[in-house]
Structure 1
Amino acid sequence: MVIYYHKCRHHKNKTKNRTKMIQELREYSNNIFFKLLMGVIAVTFVLSFGVGGFFGDRKEVVAKVNDQEILLKEYREAYQNRLGALQQQFGENAEQFAEQLNLRQQVFNQLIDRHLLLTDAAELNLVATDLELQDYIRKQPFFQQNGQFDYDTYETVLSQNRIVRHEYETSLRADILLAKKQQLLGTGLVISDSEVEQTFRRNFEKIEVEYVYFDPQAFVEKTTAEDAELRKYLQDNPQEFQTLNRFRMEYFTIAADYYQDNVKVREREVRRYYKKYAENYVTPPEVKARHILLKLIPDAPENEQQEKREQLNKLLAEIKAGSSFEELAKKHSEDGTSAEGGDLGWFKPGEMVPAFESAAFALEAGQVSEIVQSPFGLHLIKVEERKNEITKSLDEAREEITLILAESRAQKRLEEELDRLAGLAGEAFTEEAQKLNREVLNAEWFDRTEVIPGLGSAAELVPELVSRKSGEMGVWKRNPVLGHVIYRLSETKFPETRLFEDAKEDLFKAVRLEKAKAVAIESAKKALTQLEEGTKLNNLVKKHGLKTETLEFTANTRFLPNIGDNTEFRKVGLHLNENSLFGLSLDGNRADLIKFKKRSLSEDKELEQKDKVRAQLLQNMQQALLSKELKRLRDSATIEVINPVFGTPGSS
């Protein structure tokens, strides 16, 4: 069934905030569609942002769930969506994360789960009505203008992302059905008050402790080391005293402007660019204004509205009689700008609420408006200055556009050249440098900690060189302004254990530090005994040259400031109370003496927080039920995996 929407037409710039709108749509798809039912079956494909249509309509079946087919097109779109979400979060590492997560199998499993749940929802006679679908779409902010659903915006956003409307609405119906199935799973679930209280305290009860870190560095001076100990330490820990990879290479650079002088930009290209990005060459109008605001809620009683209007009319009469708008704003305006005489500064269209904006832009410099009503109350507006809209002509923009196009084309040529060079054998290095008329330079022995003259830090280059063999050629892509580096590796010196005499100073420090760690732990143990016998903490701190720190955390706090993820510290601290004031945390070579100070549980918004805790516990139970339900559905279904790439579906 086709759903028709009332077309709410508002004045708008259809290109304005388009990027933001698409970003919100993408984020919303991540939050709702890919995390639907707590992330277990979230694979809806309709918001594919350019993926839709790319794979065509080839009907290749990857699996059958009972009598339903899962098409390759459906799988690909779901996978691209999930991968896109990873790319937004992890950038160039997304593919690696996808492989680690076994994303392909995950998405495949989730598609099967989705089909199983939808079939079950249909058997339960659950339906998504036209009204529910319509209401859902109308509420989405990326389909709205000025807070209201706008049909033109709806069609534009779908069209820009190559989303077919009826496919989008069909998929939304499925999502609504899945949400109803989720609600059905939660029917009858009860979370006890004791569960809520226990979880609430674990989440929000704070414990404050004072602690002393027995830093081994404070005990180093109490230790010494003999040559025999140093030699044994080197023998036992050779990996700690390895030299770094060192390299020699030949190289030349090629920068972003290399091809720019040879690039030709045609007039029609300039015109086409100007037409396509015309909005970039329009400076919108601006006004500089002041206002006087009398606050008034939208549904205020009539008598209150009338009283405020009379007050503003009196002020308007005073202004027309010559009184200073600025001074009256200081005395009467009821917002944060009153101290500045109601000064709002410069603003453009779209930066104020519609009623206020319309009135302000209708005024000439020096004019004062009649009373204007907005969601904030009643205003008088005075425009002090105006800047009219300015459109930069094609002639004015030509030089700028030509440069943009030339830079873009030169960059593309450069990228193509770098890709070509990266595929060449090392023997071609000298010849290529001559062809490009580049000077070949030599970088003598360096490691990742050093600076290469003319190139800068070697830290980012070395990981590339480690994987190269002597004589091989490569490309180090970096800031194009500085110039990309085309190199041929001449020779590599691989890590080896340093000689004793060369490493002796570092060995001396390492052995003493190891001894200091043991001394620190023993000192901490003795200090705990002394505290329990009545010695003051401050006296012990001074004795060892240490310092106390205060820390506050809950049972759910994972990372502790200046300490990190220290499970033992949290465990010891949480067991302390008024009757057991002191504890010792030993985590590896770290020793912390901990003193209990207090426990606190804020009553601020306690009911609200407990409601959230209850909701989270309910969601956890629903998730457990969902996993159980999916197992039941899988066990009773006939699932045929047709594409051998995928394994037997398991839990998502």
Structure 2
Amino acid sequence: FGDRKEVIATVNDNEILLNEYREAYQNRIQALRQQFGESADQIAEQINLRQQVFDQLIDRYLLLSEAADMNLMTTDLELQDYIRNQPFFQKNGQFDYATYETVLSQNRLVRHEYENSLRADILLAKKQQLLGAGLVINDREVEQAYRRDFEKIEVDYVYFDPQVFIDQTNADESELRQYHLENSDQFKTLNQFRMEYFTLSTDDYKDIVNVREREIRRYYKKYEDNYVTPAEIKARHILFKLAPDASEELLQEKRQKLGTLLDQIKGGSSFEELAIKHSEDGTAAEGGDLGWFKPGEMVPEFENAAFAMETGQVSEIVRSPFGLHLIKVEQRKQEVTKSLDEVRDEITEILAESRAQKLLDEELEKLLELAGESFAEEAQRLSKDVKKSEWFDRTDVIPGLGSVTELILELELRKQGEMGIWKRNPVMGHVIYRVGETKEPVVRTFEDAASDVENAVRLEKAEALSLEAAKKTLTQVQGGEDLESLAQQQGMSAEIMEFTVNTRFLPLLGDNSE
């Protein structure tokens, strides 16, 4: 038993696995549920979310392949810097490893998988930045993009909610029985299961892991760069744009103008005010302020000049692929390296977690080879108490395990007595289970489903009434009557919705493709 390596697509020799697709889909559907509540599943169907997620995974892998072809990479330092600067991983404004682990655990994220995903995100951002640096966009394209993203459309509308018309409906027993007979599939029970289970997590192995001092020192020496806060500079600049292939005549002309500004600065003129008046890039309005930056964040020509300067110093003219610069360094932060003693506990935790993870993975591999008859014996060998669940279906929550929606997908593929592993994450614990009794879906009797049948019949009638009322109101509005007044007469209200052309889905209204 266990997880099979199910490949759903291959992009340039990179395999996209079913588990990766499921995770991406679950993230998107959860976001929809937070935004739209019970309507999320219907919305997902309307916008064909499954296909969207699949297409986005394909696009992601294509872009990563292109980035690899361009010899781009995400360094350990860049990854570390990104993680350490995320507010939700910090305590009192500083990165805290325990908080990092806790947040990942709460979100059911495996650390190395999360970090690999971040590496890819950073790499794609690099590629996008590199491509954007070479683009020339005309005014018409800028205007069109602005209109798509920011120009708002305002619509007055009335939502004819079928629930408003429910009280105007009724149904007698014969009608309900007939509906139950003709629509029996609507009133089936869900697949139900009972199972025996226990959990295994890295916590089960941390106590038997011994991290030695020499391992800690070796790790620190190998990854010392992870504990270095690079030097930073806060600077301003004045830029005269100049294409790399500009003529010598134009180069000298711009150099002379910039030299005049340099003389003014040396004579006491304000660098900031001159940047506002003369700089030719997007920072001009802020007096050329570039904020704080680290090594590797600017083009080499600019960076080498800036980091060679002292606080308060103004550079000579510097040429980069973007043009000619004057640079003023306003503040500096020196590089800081944390000592081994400062990070000893953090490294010990990392090594213990890694060793425990390895032991856990080895144990899961062993369990994957076993049959259901060995379940009790394995639980005893691992000193685990076996728990027995009550009957549950996909809507239930099992104490200690949480929602079982994902587990149900596995159980539906297994037979009674089979073992399986519900892989969650190493901190929460993987669930090792044996399928007990199962109940197949059956049509509920009319007596048992009577309340649901009545709700379905009355809702169907209410939907017809709401559609009829909406059509009538539309005719009246087209005849010149006021929408808001008509809505108030029916106990409703006219609402205003603002959206842009790029707004993909409109709450209550549906897809915005038109």
TM-score after normalising by structure 2: 0.60
Q: Which residue of 1 aligns with 2:292?
A: 346
Q: Indicate whether 1:84 and 2:14 are aligned.
A: yes
Q: Which residue of 2 aligns with 1:499?
A: 445
Q: Which residue of 2 aligns with 1:411?
A: 357
The partner residue of 2:402 within 436, 448, 456 is 456
* CA distance, structure 1, for counterparts of residue 371 and residue 447 of structure 2: 42
Deviation at 1:466, TM superposition (A): 2.6
* CA distance, structure 2, for counterparts of residue 552 and residue 364 of structure 1: 50
Which amino acid letter does the alignment assign opposite residue 431 of structure 2? V
Q: Indicate whether 1:466 and 2:412 are aligned.
A: yes
Q: Indicate whether 1:440 and 2:368 are aligned.
A: no
- Give runs of aligned pairs for residues 119-198 of structure 1, distance below 5 A: 142=70
- Aligned to 2:235, what secondary structure does the other structure show? strand
- Identify if the C-alpha distance between structure 1 residues 426 and 90 changes in structure 2 by more than 3 Å, giving closer, same or farther: closer
Deviation at 1:362, TM superposition (A): 1.4
- Identify if the C-alpha distance between structure 1 residues 383 and 466 changes in structure 2 by more than 3 Å, giving closer, same or farther: same
Q: Which residue of 1 aligns with 2:238?
A: 293
Which amino acid letter does the alignment assign opposite residue 271 of structure 2? A
- The answer to whether the Cα contact below 8 Å between 1:207 and 1:553 also exists between their aligned partners in 2 is yes
- Identify if the C-alpha distance between structure 1 residues 411 and 144 changes in structure 2 by more than 3 Å, giving closer, same or farther: closer
* CA distance, structure 1, for counterparts of residue 434 and residue 18 of structure 2: 35
Deviation at 1:502, TM superposition (A): 3.3
* CA distance, structure 2, for counterparts of residue 445 and residue 350 of structure 1: 58
- Identify if the C-alpha distance between structure 1 residues 254 and 518 changes in structure 2 by more than 3 Å, giving closer, same or farther: same
Q: Indicate whether 1:248 and 2:178 are aligned.
A: no
- The answer to whether the Cα contact below 8 Å between 1:291 and 1:380 also exists between their aligned partners in 2 is yes
Deviation at 1:332, TM superposition (A): 2.3
- Aligned to 2:389, what secondary structure does the other structure show? strand
- The answer to whether the Cα contact below 8 Å between 1:290 and 1:381 also exists between their aligned partners in 2 is yes
* CA distance, structure 2, for counterparts of residue 479 and residue 517 of structure 1: 44
- The answer to whether the Cα contact below 8 Å between 2:274 and 2:287 also exists between their aligned partners in 1 is no
The partner residue of 1:309 within 241, 259, 263 is 259
* CA distance, structure 1, for counterparts of residue 477 and residue 192 of structure 2: 53
- The answer to whether the Cα contact below 8 Å between 1:218 and 1:544 also exists between their aligned partners in 2 is no
Which amino acid letter does the alignment assign opposite residue 274 of structure 2? H
Q: Which residue of 2 aligns with 1:483?
A: 429
* CA distance, structure 1, for counterparts of residue 440 and residue 69 of structure 2: 58
Which amino acid letter does the alignment assign opposite residue 264 of structure 2? K
* CA distance, structure 1, for counterparts of residue 512 and residue 70 of structure 2: 44
- The answer to whether the Cα contact below 8 Å between 1:368 and 1:383 also exists between their aligned partners in 2 is no
- Aligned to 1:461, what secondary structure does the other structure show? helix
* CA distance, structure 2, for counterparts of residue 377 and residue 493 of structure 1: 75
Deviations, residues 528-555 of structure 1 (Å, cap 9, x unaligned): 665666655555444444547779999x
- The answer to whether the Cα contact below 8 Å between 1:553 and 1:560 also exists between their aligned partners in 2 is no
- Identify if the C-alpha distance between structure 1 residues 523 and 367 changes in structure 2 by more than 3 Å, giving closer, same or farther: closer
| RMSD value, Cα | 4.5
Q: Which residue of 1 aligns with 2:331?
A: 384
Deviation at 1:226, TM superposition (A): 1.0
- Aligned to 2:459, what secondary structure does the other structure show? helix
Q: Indicate whether 1:333 and 2:275 are aligned.
A: yes
Q: Which residue of 1 aligns with 2:168?
A: 222
Deviations, residues 93-144 of structure 1 (Å, cap 9, x unaligned): 99xxxxx9xxxxxxxxxxxxxxxxxxxxxxxxxxxxxxxxxxxxxxx98259
Runs (5+) with no aligned partner, structure 2: 1-8, 25-50, 52-67, 74-151
Deviation at 1:275, TM superposition (A): 6.3
Higher-Rg structure is 1
Deviations, residues 436-478 of structure 1 (Å, cap 9, x unaligned): 1112223222222222112222222222223333333222111
Deviation at 1:397, TM superposition (A): 6.4
- Identify if the C-alpha distance between structure 1 residues 461 and 312 changes in structure 2 by more than 3 Å, giving closer, same or farther: same
- Identify if the C-alpha distance between structure 1 residues 303 and 465 changes in structure 2 by more than 3 Å, giving closer, same or farther: closer
* CA distance, structure 2, for counterparts of residue 248 and residue 143 of structure 1: 52
Deviations, residues 398-454 of structure 1 (Å, cap 9, x unaligned): 765554344223212212212322443333222211111112223222222222112
Q: Which residue of 2 aligns with 1:21?
A: none
* CA distance, structure 1, for counterparts of residue 193 and residue 328 of structure 2: 70
- The answer to whether the Cα contact below 8 Å between 1:250 and 1:488 also exists between their aligned partners in 2 is yes
The partner residue of 1:357 within 275, 299, 303 is 303
* CA distance, structure 2, for counterparts of residue 552 and residue 403 of structure 1: 49
- Identify if the C-alpha distance between structure 1 residues 303 and 478 changes in structure 2 by more than 3 Å, giving closer, same or farther: closer
Q: Which residue of 2 aligns with 1:16?
A: none
* CA distance, structure 1, for counterparts of residue 264 and residue 368 of structure 2: 78
Deviations, residues 312-334 of structure 1 (Å, cap 9, x unaligned): 22322438xxxxxxxx2343223
* CA distance, structure 2, for counterparts of residue 275 and residue 415 of structure 1: 27
Deviations, residues 40-96 of structure 1 (Å, cap 9, x unaligned): xxxxxxxxxxxxxxxxxxxxxxxxxxxxxxxxxxxxxxx9654526559964699xx
Q: For this pair of structures, how many residues does the alignment match?
A: 376
Q: Which residue of 2 aligns with 1:580?
A: none
- Identify if the C-alpha distance between structure 1 residues 423 and 236 changes in structure 2 by more than 3 Å, giving closer, same or farther: farther
Q: Which residue of 1 aligns with 2:367?
A: 421
Q: Indicate whether 1:508 and 2:436 are aligned.
A: no
* CA distance, structure 2, for counterparts of residue 359 and residue 558 of structure 1: 46
Deviation at 1:272, TM superposition (A): 6.6
Deviations, residues 176-209 of structure 1 (Å, cap 9, x unaligned): xxxxxxxxxxxxxxxxxxxxxxxxxxxxxx9998
Deviation at 1:236, TM superposition (A): 1.4
Deviation at 1:294, TM superposition (A): 5.8
* CA distance, structure 2, for counterparts of residue 564 and residue 141 of structure 1: 41
- The answer to whether the Cα contact below 8 Å between 2:503 and 2:512 also exists between their aligned partners in 1 is no
Deviation at 1:253, TM superposition (A): 1.4
* Greater shift in the superposed pair: 435-444 or 499-508: 499-508
Q: Which residue of 1 aligns with 2:135?
A: none
* CA distance, structure 2, for counterparts of residue 565 and residue 366 of structure 1: 56
Deviation at 1:566, TM superposition (A): 9.5
Deviations, residues 348-383 of structure 1 (Å, cap 9, x unaligned): 112223333222211234544444444354314235
- Identify if the C-alpha distance between structure 1 residues 471 and 349 changes in structure 2 by more than 3 Å, giving closer, same or farther: same
